[in-house]
Structure formats: C-alpha cells, structure tokens
Structure 1
C-alpha cells in the first residue's frame, strides 16, 4: 500500500459492510445552500468553470485529465484521484495466470466530509458486485442540509452506476463490463488541482499519469526484432501473455464493429483482445469512448490518435512529469509480437 502512496486510513481499510438505507434518505432538500451547488456558485464570477475528464478501462488504459493516453501495468492498489475533496483508488489484478495483462477488479471512492453539504461517504465496487448505494446503504450525502448534492443513481442494474457530486461539480460513471470495472469522471480543473502540497502529492494517476516503469512500451519489441540474437532487451517491460484464441485479423474485425474510427480506443481494443482473449474488452473500450462523449467538455478532443500527447510546455507549466509519446500506434507490430511470443 505505502509504495503506491495509498493512505493507510483510506479505501482498503474500510469495512466491507452494507446496510439498508435509513428512513427519509431519499427526501429532497430543494433549499440546500448555494455552496452545495458548484455551478450555481459561479454566477458571480467572470468565467464559467473549466471541466476535465479522466478514464480508466481495459488492460488498463488511462486517459488523464490532460488528455494523455497510456497503457499501464499498475498491478495492485493505485490512487487514481487524491485531492482535498475525494479519493479514488483502483485495484488491478492479472487477467490470466502469470500474465502481465491486468484489469480493474475493485474500485473505492471516498467523498470527504464537506461543510454543510455532505458527510463522508464511501462507495465500493468489485467484480460481480456493482452496488447502487454507498457502503452504509444510503444513496445521498447523509443528514446535512445539502445532502442531496451527492447522489448515486443506478442506470443499468449491476452494470452502470452514476454518482453526481454537485457540490464539487463532479460526475462519476462506474461500469462493470464482463468481469471487470471501468471508471470515468468529469471534474472542474479547480477541484482536480485542489491538493495541499502538489510537489509532495506523489502518485495521482489521473493527474500525473502512470509511472514510467509501469507503462507498456511497444518499442521494446521493435528493438528486439532488430537486435541480432536477442528477443527482448533486459530492461524492457514484460509482454502480456497472448492467448491463441484471437488471431490479429479477428481482433481487428471485432473492434471495427464497435469502434469504426481508428483512434486510440480502437487500438486499445485490439491490444486487449490480443492480450486477454476476452471479447468483453471490446465493450469496455466502446463504453469508455461513450463516457468521453458524455463527460468531456471539449468535443474536438473526443478521439485521440497516436500524435495526440501532452505538449511539453503545457506539462511543464502544470508541474506534471513529461510523458513519453503514446505508443499504441505501434500495434502494427503486434503480429510480430505474437510470432516472437510463440517462438519464445
């Protein structure tokens, strides 16, 4: 836990208990204070809030608040979001025994106590358990005057939950696709950057991206193919085991059915089918893109391509570590990768 900057008093220490909602939990409080409605509080300001998006899906693929797109290993518990208002932690487990391919099997969200709006609330989802209530059985922010500024809504039973946190202008979408979970969030930049000490914040995947040693680098396979007598450089990230059940052409065809635009979501879909053999990962990529369409404020950035990356100047200005160029476009090398793995 400590190696990934996960709080000892955070998500994983919460008891896994759920009770029935208390009486009166769903009553409306239309007179909640203005501070409990983030967008309404902007009517006296010169500019409207700027919203950002972060998503995690598949094996797993991360789209950060700055629209960087990475494919990561990140096995175990990792913090997606860690700011003054909420914490989001994911746990990723191997998809296949002995494989480096992982997917999200557990998600914990802690909404922190906030003024007269909400009590602290914990939401936990796991494989085959996507509850439509917080861990205490309630569906709103508690007993405070502005409690209904935090609400959870079940969109599709056992498959799709939406959490509205109006007091911080935030919308969260959690899905179960196949056995695994996906996560998407829309959040104001002001809330994204609300951290006590940015320099010591450590890991915060949605903001900083995955650590370099956790990113899957397809260039390693190009180098191994060109280097005589070696299959893989010693420092290269291990490749996920590729099952024999999904030929490259079949994976491409299945992903094309759901994702006709050959962007990074399409490429992520192909990669996931080749590394897991699980056709449900096609839907994971599809719904991840659908969530982007719903949550992203810039409609010109719905689709990301290989050349789309964080501009160095913007990353430096934001205090973010510079990220390597996304390499999912190297999926053209995946047939070669499969040959190398079969020969290993």
Structure 2
C-alpha cells in the first residue's frame, strides 16, 4: 500500500512516549488520584490523524488526503499546548509520579523542537457526559436485549501475518501495507496498526505495533489507551491498570492474559466488544468481535477503516500468487505440505500460511494463521462461517455464474421469438 509521509520535522503520535512509562512506580495516596493517562491518551487521539513521521512510513488522515506541512505542524502544536495545559491541571495530584514528570519534560522538549508558540489554539476537549444512565446501559448485551428482545449480531475482523485482513464483511485480503493505518474508527473505538518490512526482506511486512483507544463514553468509561509492540504485549492498559469503568459492581474494561508478554484479551462490556492481541512468531495479530451496531457507528469522514473495507483495490495482493522471496534459498521447501499438515482445510488461512512462508522464508510464520483461525473459531458462532474460500477462487467464480445467467437469458429470448 502506498504510504504518505509527513515532514521529517513533524513527529507523529508514535514518536513520543513519556520517559520511564514502563517503570513500576509504587502507588501512593497522592499518586492514586494522578490521571496522567488521560492527558497522554488525549494527546495520542489528537495527533493520530496527523500521520506519522517515522521511518517505517505513515498514513494519510482518515479522509485520505495528505495535510500540508504547515497544517500538520499547526495541529501538532495545538495538541502539544492542550497536553501542556492538561499536565498543569494534574500537577498537584501527580506530584512525585515519574511518568508525569517525564511527560512534562517531553512536552517542553517537543514545544521547542517544533517551534510552537506558547500562546495559540488548543485541541478541543471532549464534551462531558450527558444525562443519567439506566442500570444496564454500561452492559451492551443486556441493554440491547432489553430494547430489542434478542441478542445482537456480532461481526468479526482478524488481522495477522503479512498482513492478511478478514474484514467485518467476511472479505479476505492480503495488503502491501507499510506504516500506520486505522483498522477501526467509530464513535466508541479507534484501533491503529503499524506494519513494517521484515528485517532483511523487501516483500514481506508484519504488524509491529497495535494502538487501541477506547473513547470516552457517557458515564461508563473515561478514555483509555492500550498499546502493544513486538515482544511487548502487556496484560494492562498504558497506565498499568487491568480494569476501569466500574459501575454497580460491573467493570466496563478488563484485560487478562493466557501468555504474559505475548497475549492480551481485552473485554469492553459497555460496547459488547472483545479484542485479542497476540504475538505469533515475529509478528503481532489482532482479532475483534463486535456488535454490528458498534461497528457501523461512524460518519462519512471516518472513511478509512481496513476492518470495514479492506485496503484499496490497487494495493491488494493475490494470496494464491505470492511474490518471490528475496533469495530463492530462503524459501522453505514444501511450504504447502507444511501448512497442509497444520491447516488441513484449504481455506484462506491455509493460503495465508503458504503465502507467509514463501515471502518470509520463516517456518515460524505459519503460527500467525493458526492463531488467527483459532480466534475466528472462538469469535464466530456459526461454525460453517469460520472457513472462507481463497479470495482469488471466489472472485473467479462470480463472473462465470453471471455469464451463464446472461447466456441462459439470451437463449430464452431467442426461443420466445421462434
């Protein structure tokens, strides 16, 4: 996928991480009320649409059009000033918090680096929650059943490997993606994935970072941030907490793990959504199960979502015809046999396995397709819907059927004339 780069002088959200943010800091009575995460996540949310200045590439804003250098820098300075104001409001509560003091120093450095005036516009704050909530409002499944008298329809999206995408519409694509791109962008949730070339390769790319922002929603949750990187899949949110948004004994957001450092399962009860982040081999993967009402809650400006529509048509790769590896010697012998032994159904997961083995030359890359298939089995209620035909095969079948129907129609017309 072609990527758009912001000017080198403008940092993207991924370029700034508060120093010492991964250190474990004892929680004191003062630090317990410190909400530096709110400032951090607001800054990340305000700068996501500005793109990334990292060397691995960047993404266009949600609307798809590149911003000018001046517009990007102005937006970045506006976000920094808001960030600065937020930390000042937290100064008393965050006294002695290492992450807070690291953020303050980082903001100062970035304001100078980008020559941002101290005075000027700031990013608009989120509106406060309105009204009171009924008992089940923060429990999506119960609330939906109370309104509709039935359970919601759930959709599944999976992203894994080189990367391969199973969209919410059950389309399967392999994309030539580099840089940061939004997977999901709706009223409740923003998910961004960063894909980078495999070291030493020119064809293969893998997911190396996943950012998830749960947006502030009424009185159920305050905005919460989760980030995972290769070799660091934390079983906690960015602030170190494992749950948030408790109301009447129920927690809206929870994180747990089956394999510390390599797996995280995030449940968002207020939107009935489950997200699984895992590392398989040398790549990250993401699986999502979310109600249709949540998935489709977005406006026309949120028109770039790989989980909804996949990648642009011109940037889709044919999974059945993987590009040659950089070195013929690096291609594993018997890739098809290896994948067939692990994935006996000749579906899209089998094809993805073969594709990844050929392009990367790494036998361990097959674990990405295996994990994605297992997540799909866990998230899709109808077992018959788990397996999809390879994209190219399905795509070739439709024109043949259409042509046959046209021919039958023409023959029927000729028979009537006779």
TM-score bucket of the superposed structures, by smaller chain: 0.7 to 0.9
Q: Which residue of 1 is the match for residue 17 of structure 2?
A: 15
What are the superposed Cα offsets for residues 137-179 of structure 1, whole Å, 9 maximum, x if unpaired?
Answer: 1111257667711100011112221000010000000101122
**Is the CA contact 1:243–1:277 (under 8 Å) kept in the aligned structure 2?**
no
Task: For 2:26 and 2:11, locate their aligned partners in 1 and report how far apart those are by CA, in whole Å.
Answer: 24
Task: For 1:14 and 1:111, locate their aligned partners in 2 and report how far apart those are by CA, in whole Å.
Answer: 19
Unaligned runs of 5+ in 1: 26-31, 222-236, 311-323, 327-344
**Is the CA contact 1:67–1:309 (under 8 Å) kept in the aligned structure 2?**
no
Q: Which residue of 1 is the match for residue 252 of structure 2?
A: 149
Task: Evaluate the alpha carbon distance shift between residue 202 and residue 152 of structure 1 in structure 2; reply closer, same or farther with a 3 A threshold.
Answer: same
Shift of 1:2: 9.3
Task: For 1:161 and 1:299, locate their aligned partners in 2 and report how far apart those are by CA, in whole Å.
Answer: 24
How many residues are paired up?
286
Between Structure 1 and Structure 2, the one with more helix by share is 2
What are the superposed Cα offsets for residues 204-257 of structure 1, whole Å, 9 maximum, x if unpaired?
Answer: 0000111122211479x7xxxxxxxxxxxxxxx976635523345x21122122
Task: Evaluate the alpha carbon distance shift between residue 307 and residue 283 of structure 1 in structure 2; reply closer, same or farther with a 3 A threshold.
Answer: closer
Match of 2:138 among 36, 41, 66: 36
**Is the CA contact 1:68–1:309 (under 8 Å) kept in the aligned structure 2?**
no
Match of 2:359 among 269, 275, 282: 275
Task: For 2:199 and 2:379, locate their aligned partners in 1 and report how far apart those are by CA, in whole Å.
Answer: 32
Match of 2:278 among 161, 175, 179: 175
The secondary structure found in structure 1 opposite 2:217 is coil
Q: Which residue of 1 is the match for residue 310 of structure 2?
A: 209
TM-score by length of 1: 0.74
Question: Map of 1:1-344 to 2, 5 A cutoff?
Answer: 3=4, 12=14, 15=17, 17-18=21-22, 33-44=135-146, 45-142=148-245, 148-195=251-298, 197-198=299-300, 200-217=301-318, 241=326, 243-248=328-333, 250-306=334-390
RMSD over aligned CA atoms reads: 3.2
Larger Rg: 2
Task: For 2:15 and 2:138, locate their aligned partners in 1 and report how far apart those are by CA, in whole Å.
Answer: 28
TM-score by length of 2: 0.62
Task: For 2:369 and 2:260, locate their aligned partners in 1 and report how far apart those are by CA, in whole Å.
Answer: 20
Task: Evaluate the alpha carbon distance shift between residue 125 and residue 218 of structure 1 in structure 2; reply closer, same or farther with a 3 A threshold.
Answer: closer
Task: Evaluate the alpha carbon distance shift between residue 11 and residue 183 of structure 1 in structure 2; reply closer, same or farther with a 3 A threshold.
Answer: farther
Task: Evaluate the alpha carbon distance shift between residue 243 and residue 119 of structure 1 in structure 2; reply closer, same or farther with a 3 A threshold.
Answer: farther
Task: For 2:16 and 2:145, locate their aligned partners in 1 and report how far apart those are by CA, in whole Å.
Answer: 38
Task: For 1:208 and 1:117, locate their aligned partners in 2 and report how far apart those are by CA, in whole Å.
Answer: 29
Shift of 1:15: 2.9
Task: Evaluate the alpha carbon distance shift between residue 260 and residue 2 of structure 1 in structure 2; reply closer, same or farther with a 3 A threshold.
Answer: closer
Shift of 1:98: 4.7
Task: Evaluate the alpha carbon distance shift between residue 59 and residue 166 of structure 1 in structure 2; reply closer, same or farther with a 3 A threshold.
Answer: same
Task: For 1:77 and 1:104, locate their aligned partners in 2 and report how far apart those are by CA, in whole Å.
Answer: 10
The secondary structure found in structure 2 opposite 1:244 is helix
Q: Which residue of 2 is the match for residue 29 of structure 1?
A: none
**Is the CA contact 2:332–2:363 (under 8 Å) kept in the aligned structure 1?**
no
The secondary structure found in structure 2 opposite 1:35 is coil
Task: For 1:217 and 1:177, locate their aligned partners in 2 and report how far apart those are by CA, in whole Å.
Answer: 23
The secondary structure found in structure 2 opposite 1:292 is helix
Shift of 1:122: 0.7
